[in-house]
Structure 1
Amino acid sequence: MWDTDVTDRKLFDATEFAQRAADMPHLQRFKEALERGHDQLREAFAMGTPIKTLVYKRAWFIDQVLAEAWALHELDNDALSLVAVGGYGRGELHPASDIDIMLLTQPRLNNTQKEAIERFLTFLWDIGLEVGHSVRTVKECVRESKNDITVTTNMMESRRLAGNADLYRKMRVATGPDKIWPTRKFFEAKLAEQVARHHKYDDSAHNLEPNIKESPGGLRDIQMIGWVAKRHFGAEDLRELVDHGFLTRTEFQTLNTGLAFLWRVRFALHTHTGRRDDRLLFDYQKQVAAVFGYHAEDNSAVEQFMKMYFRTIKELSRLNEMLLQHFQEAIIYARRREKIRPLNKRFQMRNDFIEVTDKKVFEHYPFALLELFLLIQQEERIQGVRASTIRLVRESLDLIDDDFRSDIRNKSLFLEIIRQPRWVGHELRRMHRYGVLGAYMPQFRAIEGLMQFDLFHVYTVDEHILTLVRNLRHFGVPEKAEEFPLCTQILRTGIPKQELLYLGGLFHDIAKGRGGDHAKLGAEDAYNFCREHLLSEHDARLVAWLVDEHLLMSQTAQREDIDDPEVINRFASRVGDRQRLNYLYLLTVADIRATNPSMWNSWKDALLADLYRKTLLALRRGLENPLDKNERIRETRDAALALMSRKLKNTIDVEALWDTLGDDYFLRHSADEIAWHTQAIADCDNDELPLVLVRPQTERGGTEVFIYMQDRDFIFATTTRVMEQLGLDIHDARIITSSSGFVLDTYIVLEPDGEMIDGRKRGDEISDALHRALLNIDKLPPIKTNRMAERKLRHFHIPTRIEFTSDEPNNRTIMQVSAADRPGLLSRVGVALRFCGARIQGAKIATYGERAEDIFFITDPDTNQPISDTIKFECLRNSISESLQN
């Protein structure tokens, strides 16, 4: 489909086979020829040979090998035809690409012919060719093509390598567009195929470990254009789309350059890995970046290379959209009577697609570059933008200059886009794709394609921002109300100006990559932008505050003890009022989900909602009248007593039991949890200990695991080790030791997919495993390895940091451990705590991709007070660091 001029064969020796010694065994001769050919290919790649030459000549070289093997096996050329299909059929082969062939046969082969085919295929495998093959008659080709459009695509791209030419011609005719899969049906099916494939990759080309073939904007999108062009026009070269007026010469060059770039990336991947792997994983990014001349000891080389990659993908995505729109007009609407409906003097609808009324519209009315997107939001019948208008937008981007940005009409239009009740995120993304958003907001252009080399931020910064805005918009969509009930309620009743929320989202990370505090720098940008767009001083300050404090709520929820009234009062004082709390809550939820969707789960949902409600209550009481601890404890105890309606199995003095547990227990557990614990303890005899209970679904957004037993060394280490072996993610731990020598430990856990435990069988598995391990607590279970996690972690150097702060109001020490998130981390910390003489009261577990930032609340076991002994601090630092390094 591309420039396939490969007349210069000097890269490979065409007489390789003939020059080998006649008495050399065939297998050895072919194996040596393949090895020499592959070596020459690698050397040529390292020397900078043009990538297209390498891709086409590898296919040519394999052609020679197969043709020689075909002749060697004396196959019946009247009954058989050897056909290359798929990418190999296009004449394109990367070092580890599949070599797909079809043996096209006459009906009713005899046994001799069948045996010859088997010997031929076996020989190919024996010499080391990874061949994908099919054996079909013409009739079978037709049947399979009708049932599966991918088979049709393979037939379209086929080449005859050897054998019966007439048989091959019959197959091409029988599977042509006038026989099966006419152009319209073919286009609709391939378009649906692309939509489904893009959904598989979250409709984003900006994942930080992209699949260069299948992700949006990847090689498959370019192939999609080629397939449709071939089916519709019979085009053998995409250059023909220029002749048909579908592409300009500049656009064809962009497409061609993008293809060459992706081919070079793929060639480097295959060469480095030695296998067909089209995922640009962290494992390979540094090596591939070096191929393109990016070298650095730190991750800056990877970030620069990936920025080039993502900008290339963005251009290819735009061209894919534009060309498919062209095809839709030429194929779907070709026979329809055109319906033209004026929208205003600058735009009209043609067959449900918006277009300019004149080629000079943007030249005469530059503001129409923004008006286009506003009209799409306002007119529900518009299904897209005509290809000619997309092209005109791209050609007019230089009109968006300082004068354009200072024009009151353009400022008003941009704010109107942000204020619309529908398609805000959708049209901002389209503006980004067409280059308008980056042109209008230079700050945004600076972060286009910017990646952060870590496992937490799974999108580039620009993609993350646009995804966040989309998430905010989803809170107002009726279909999402059940998934995000609190967000939906707040958006409807507590957000007077949604555009301020969207502006906060647009600017919250816009200053990344500049150096310095991105929140402070972004807040300044946001304030200036709002004032320049004539927003009030109050609104501008609110947006700036949102940007400046966009991490406050998530950090408070995940790193502090929000059961502590002091924490709530401090957070409420910083927020100030209910309106800011509403805006911040929605921004925080959307931000976490847009940073890494897999990290969002019911636990974080419940945690943020809990912080929101507690803060709202504190604001209602008044910041001058904070909630008192004793009042909170009294209310919780009374509520727990009221819930304990049934008669206890054993007669116990509930108040006496509770008096042994201390104030922390009632501050850190709900009335429902306390009633559950108390009834379970009352129903359990001492000879049944340890008591292990599992509640699959709880209001705290996770599965609750409760352990009650006499205090022993290494309970925390054993418990966390077992749960890790069971594949559970621990998100919260509350460790209470009673004055009578019993522990009441509560853990919130989730399955690896972020879901709560489902089913009694799984709950029994967890409780039984913990019960057995706690009965044999002197035998700590082994750490379960995770090869996938280890593979990713080895690319990140994360030093272990251990910091201590005194929490005197709560009579405890806070130990923060920041380290690589590795198997057994919690249990290793548990062992070190016991070894150094520290008692754990609780833990908040937070994982940010490859980095764990865990908070442990600890005391001196002898005094039950904060630790003050510097020797213990040093012991903990050394023990934990050494354990994690090993």
Structure 2
Amino acid sequence: MRLSEATPAMTGRDDSLPPELFDPDLFKAAIARGDALKIGKQALHTAADYLHGEFRSGTRVARLLHLRAQFMDALLGALWDSRDWSGVEPALVAVGGYGRGELHPHSDIDILVLLGEDSERCHGQLEQFLTQLWDLGLSIGHSVRTVSECCSKARRDITILTNLMETRVIRGPKALMAEVRELTSPAHMWPSADFFRAKLQEQRERHAKFADTEYNLEPNVKSSPGGLRDLQIIAWIGERHFGVDSLESMDTGEFLNPDERKMLLRGRDFMWQVRYALHLIAGREEDRLLFDHQRELAAMWGFQDGEKLAVEQFMQTYYRWALALGELNELLIQNFDHAILRADTVDDIRILNERFQVRNGYIEALRDDLFSTDPNTLLEVFVLAGREPGIIGVGTPTIRLIREHRHLVNSTFRADPRNRASFLEILRSPYNMTRLLRSMTRYGVLGNYLPEFGRIVGQMQHDLFHTYTVDAHTLEVIQYMRRFQKPEFDERFPVSSRVARRLPKIELLYLAGLYHDIGKGRGGDHSELGAVDAERFCREHDLSDHDTELVTWLVRNHLTMSAVSQRKDISDPDIIQQFAHHVGDLDRLDYLFTLTVADINGTNPTLWNAWRGSLLRQLYTGTRRALRRGLENPVDKQVWIEQTRRTATDLLESRGFTVEELEDLWREQGEDYFLREKPEDIAWHTEAIAGHYERDQPLVLIRNSSDSSVANTTQIFIHARSRAQLFSRVCAELEQLELSVHDARIYNARDGMSLDTFYVLNSDGSSIAEESARLRYIRDHLSDALASNLDRAPIVQRLTPRQIKSFPVPTETSMSIDEIKHVSVLEVSSRDRPGLLARIGRIFVDHGVELQAAKIQTLGERVEDVFFITDAQQQPLVDPALCEAIQRAIREQLDDHVGDA
């Protein structure tokens, strides 16, 4: 079966029901002999099978929706006709989607029973009628009202009014519904201006629930921006103000041109097709494109994995239609705003030059032939919109002209030095630069000017980590870069804001943001592919060699700083020195830091937290010191350790400790402890250990960020007898407490004691509230658990979220030796699931491996964890057979539990 490229919607429908679908006479006969329930259920199954078969064979969905509505009319009508209304028959009215004659497989059948005079005499018949419908298993949404009740409720509730606008009398006196229509018309309530404002506010609130983007990971085909509800808004406004009874009836005059009308109807047919298929595969009313459904739909319509996954190809088709329909909605709403709200107002017009003016805040072309006679103005309109203050956007007539002439943005256009200069000027715009790029994307200009960008429009990445499509993510990243320059974001991004404001050429940062992910979806390393594209752009736009090299380097290395901060031990001065050598100079560091922070925030709104922020700041400040000191002057490790010990000593001497006491307490600690821990944390640990005399009982310390030196995490310190099962048991207990580990540092002292530090957050990534009771509970729970038999680890009972279950990520492992740290580095990438760290910890025990540290990173549905491990003699693992056995055990253990919970 093939996904329709969307055909124009029907302008009419055949009112005759195919005999294979339903035989009204046969059903009436069944009613007469008291067999309505059995034959009715058979008819429903027959109709469903017939319509689903027609859908699979490629029949247009518009016809199937109308046929189902007609079938339901006949079924309900026959049951209605069998009742004895005793001369006081009410009206049976279809409302909502059913009223429009558009009934999806599992949509509710919404009806209104409209009562006339002497309505009490028919209540018994009504109850029996509704009972029959429920007995048939129909999903009925019904209301029973008089004409006056309808009017009263509609006056108070615009949703009820809207339902009454979409009605069709199935049986009974049509005069009742005609009276309702008259009394609820704009002449009596909700004049069109008020109706328009209310519907526009309703749309804004609905869009806000979906983050104002068509690009949700699991969009709602009905309610998301660019979905069917956006089209219904247009139809409702058209009916209320202009007397148009359907989208098909909207003429191609003042508000729609022929191409827009065609796109509107084709887009609706596409969304109908997707919604029908969703109901079909879910077996119930389902309007969300859930991940599992996305894959099924991609297979249903014949998409196959290639450079892009089949599901990504299908969703790119969906997103592009949603974007097109969202653009049409925006265009028509702006038209309606002018026709309805501004009809009697004097336009505020400001002439910009001989080509453009601003009308009521919207920039407009002064001639209809402007773009055809001077294509360069296709970029000039955006240059002016970014240069002039107070411009809201592009006016509707000019949007149409841009769309009609965007094909002129071709290779000749791109080669024109004037256009290249205009594009760079857009990137330097003082006003609304991100909004301009979004508009250029929406109108097809950006994708034509940068064909490599056009290829990523609507391209999703089928995972939970990337919330947006590649193009939407790119523009989100640039939006964050802009925010770093606004004072209102200083508190949220204090370091990024300061760094961004001192960048010598901010447009180079925007270019790096524009190109950093542009290579995705082509196969290969997207960073390398993007760097090639970025270099070509810079050369073509006459950037200097220095600027070209900087932008290209940033695109190629845009993941590096994040990877180092989250996967390396950045407390080690050797790691800092190594990264400083890679960066090379302070300018590169500033640009890369700003790009990295923007990239993380623009990838997923939940991804950024103070923990990630603190890691990046620590890496940034350490690297900046190294670069200012000079790469030829690295920090001496022993000097670093002595400084840490000296500072910790000063802190503890003020608390009554002597140098001799401290030397005695620290004698068994290795150098690594003083290299990686902060002096204030060492003082905290030491003071508690000195007062802890029961060495057989674990010491557990806990404190929040207000006391801790690291971000907004909660720091848990455990001093206990060194036992192989300790790490596994701690991780299991923390999961029981619904805490997630983000960093773990393990120090095995020479006296048989272990000093373990865990940095944790709540399992949802939020920080633990500053509540002493909660912190005490965590401390006491761990103390009790670790004092018992460590072999009896709890069973983790936390459920795996539905979305994560949708991604059966196979476990991947790799091992290497870190020559700087003299440890083996085990990297594990797998699907997130309860108990993962505890299982890995038990495998370390089984293979005689000692854990020195761990860096834990959750990226959507998967984890990318790094473990620094040694053998019992604190040496890297060099036996290839042992290394492979450890990795095989991890893969088998985790993949065996892929369906857990």
Classify the TM-score, shorter chain.
over 0.9
Deviation per CA, 1:320-359, whole angstroms, max 9, x where unpaired? 1111111111111111122322111111122222211110
**Aligned-pair CA distance for 1:794:** 4.6
Do the aligned residues in 2 keep the contact of 1:692 with 1:767 (CA within 8 Å)?
yes
Matched, 1:512 2:512: no
The one-letter code of the counterpart of 1:770 is L
DSSP-derived class of the 1:815 partner: strand
Residue pairs, 1:820-835, within 5 angstroms: 820-835=831-846
Distance (Å, rounded) in 1 between the aligned partners of 2:313 and 2:87: 54
Matched, 1:92 2:102: yes
Matched, 1:700 2:713: no
Matched, 1:663 2:674: no
Residue pairs, 1:230-629, within 5 angstroms: 230-296=239-305, 300-493=309-502, 495-629=503-637
Q: Could you say which residue in structure 2 is the equivalent of 1:864?
A: 874
The one-letter code of the counterpart of 1:816 is E
Aligned partner (choices 733, 738, 748) of residue 737 of structure 1: 748
Gap change, CA 1:138 and 1:609, over 3 Å in 2: farther
Aligned partner (choices 50, 63, 66) of residue 73 of structure 2: 63
Distance (Å, rounded) in 2 between the aligned partners of 1:384 and 1:170: 43
Do the aligned residues in 2 keep the contact of 1:76 with 1:163 (CA within 8 Å)?
no
**Aligned-pair CA distance for 1:756:** 0.4
Matched, 1:30 2:8: no
Gap change, CA 1:150 and 1:867, over 3 Å in 2: same
Normalised by the size of structure 2, how large is the TM-score?
0.93
Which segment is superposed worse, 118-127 or 742-751? 118-127
Paired residues in the alignment total 881
The one-letter code of the counterpart of 2:823 is R
DSSP-derived class of the 1:239 partner: helix
Distance (Å, rounded) in 2 between the aligned partners of 1:77 and 1:472: 72
Gap change, CA 1:762 and 1:172, over 3 Å in 2: farther
Deviation per CA, 1:545-591, whole angstroms, max 9, x where unpaired? 11111111011111111111111111101101111101001111111
The one-letter code of the counterpart of 1:779 is R
Matched, 1:764 2:792: no
Q: Could you say which residue in structure 2 is the equivalent of 1:132?
A: 141
Matched, 1:210 2:205: no
Deviation per CA, 1:394-429, whole angstroms, max 9, x where unpaired? 011122122211222211111111011221111101
Q: Could you say which residue in structure 2 is the equivalent of 1:878?
A: 888
Which segment is superposed worse, 178-187 or 73-82? 73-82
Gap change, CA 1:872 and 1:224, over 3 Å in 2: same
Gap change, CA 1:546 and 1:103, over 3 Å in 2: same
Gap change, CA 1:398 and 1:550, over 3 Å in 2: same
Matched, 1:778 2:791: yes
Gap change, CA 1:687 and 1:6, over 3 Å in 2: farther
Q: Could you say which residue in structure 1 is the equivalent of 2:733?
A: 722
DSSP-derived class of the 2:733 partner: helix
Do the aligned residues in 1 keep the contact of 2:28 with 2:78 (CA within 8 Å)?
no
Distance (Å, rounded) in 2 between the aligned partners of 1:33 and 1:589: 60
Distance (Å, rounded) in 2 between the aligned partners of 1:241 and 1:755: 50
**Aligned-pair CA distance for 1:453:** 2.3
Do the aligned residues in 2 keep the contact of 1:649 with 1:683 (CA within 8 Å)?
no
Q: Could you say which residue in structure 2 is the equivalent of 1:677?
A: 685
Q: Could you say which residue in structure 2 is the equivalent of 1:840?
A: 851
Which segment is superposed worse, 197-206 or 212-221? 197-206
Distance (Å, rounded) in 2 between the aligned partners of 1:650 and 1:708: 22
DSSP-derived class of the 2:816 partner: strand
Distance (Å, rounded) in 2 between the aligned partners of 1:162 and 1:654: 93
**Aligned-pair CA distance for 1:243:** 4.2
The one-letter code of the counterpart of 2:733 is V
RMSD value, Cα? 2.4
Gap change, CA 1:85 and 1:42, over 3 Å in 2: same
DSSP-derived class of the 2:638 partner: helix
Distance (Å, rounded) in 1 between the aligned partners of 2:660 and 2:292: 59
Q: Equivalent pairs: percent with the same residue?
A: 45
Do the aligned residues in 1 keep the contact of 2:95 with 2:112 (CA within 8 Å)?
yes
Do the aligned residues in 2 keep the contact of 1:650 with 1:682 (CA within 8 Å)?
no
Which segment is superposed worse, 687-696 or 507-516? 687-696
The one-letter code of the counterpart of 2:746 is I
**Aligned-pair CA distance for 1:691:** 2.7
Distance (Å, rounded) in 1 between the aligned partners of 2:643 and 2:254: 76
DSSP-derived class of the 2:250 partner: helix
Deviation per CA, 1:518-537, whole angstroms, max 9, x where unpaired? 22222122122122212211
Distance (Å, rounded) in 2 between the aligned partners of 1:352 and 1:874: 66
Gap change, CA 1:462 and 1:726, over 3 Å in 2: same
Gap change, CA 1:655 and 1:593, over 3 Å in 2: same
Distance (Å, rounded) in 1 between the aligned partners of 2:286 and 2:79: 28
Distance (Å, rounded) in 1 between the aligned partners of 2:557 and 2:820: 26
Which segment is superposed worse, 667-676 or 157-166? 157-166
Q: Could you say which residue in structure 2 is the equivalent of 1:152?
A: 161
Aligned partner (choices 617, 635, 638) of residue 630 of structure 1: 638
Gap change, CA 1:137 and 1:807, over 3 Å in 2: same
**Aligned-pair CA distance for 1:297:** 9.0
Distance (Å, rounded) in 2 between the aligned partners of 1:879 and 1:684: 38
Do the aligned residues in 1 keep the contact of 2:648 with 2:683 (CA within 8 Å)?
yes
The one-letter code of the counterpart of 1:664 is D
Do the aligned residues in 1 keep the contact of 2:10 with 2:62 (CA within 8 Å)?
no
Q: Could you say which residue in structure 1 is the equivalent of 2:5?
A: none
**Aligned-pair CA distance for 1:150:** 1.9
The one-letter code of the counterpart of 2:204 is V
Deviation per CA, 1:176-222, whole angstroms, max 9, x where unpaired? 22222211111112112222222222222123322212221111111
Gap change, CA 1:438 and 1:76, over 3 Å in 2: farther
Distance (Å, rounded) in 1 between the aligned partners of 2:237 and 2:513: 39
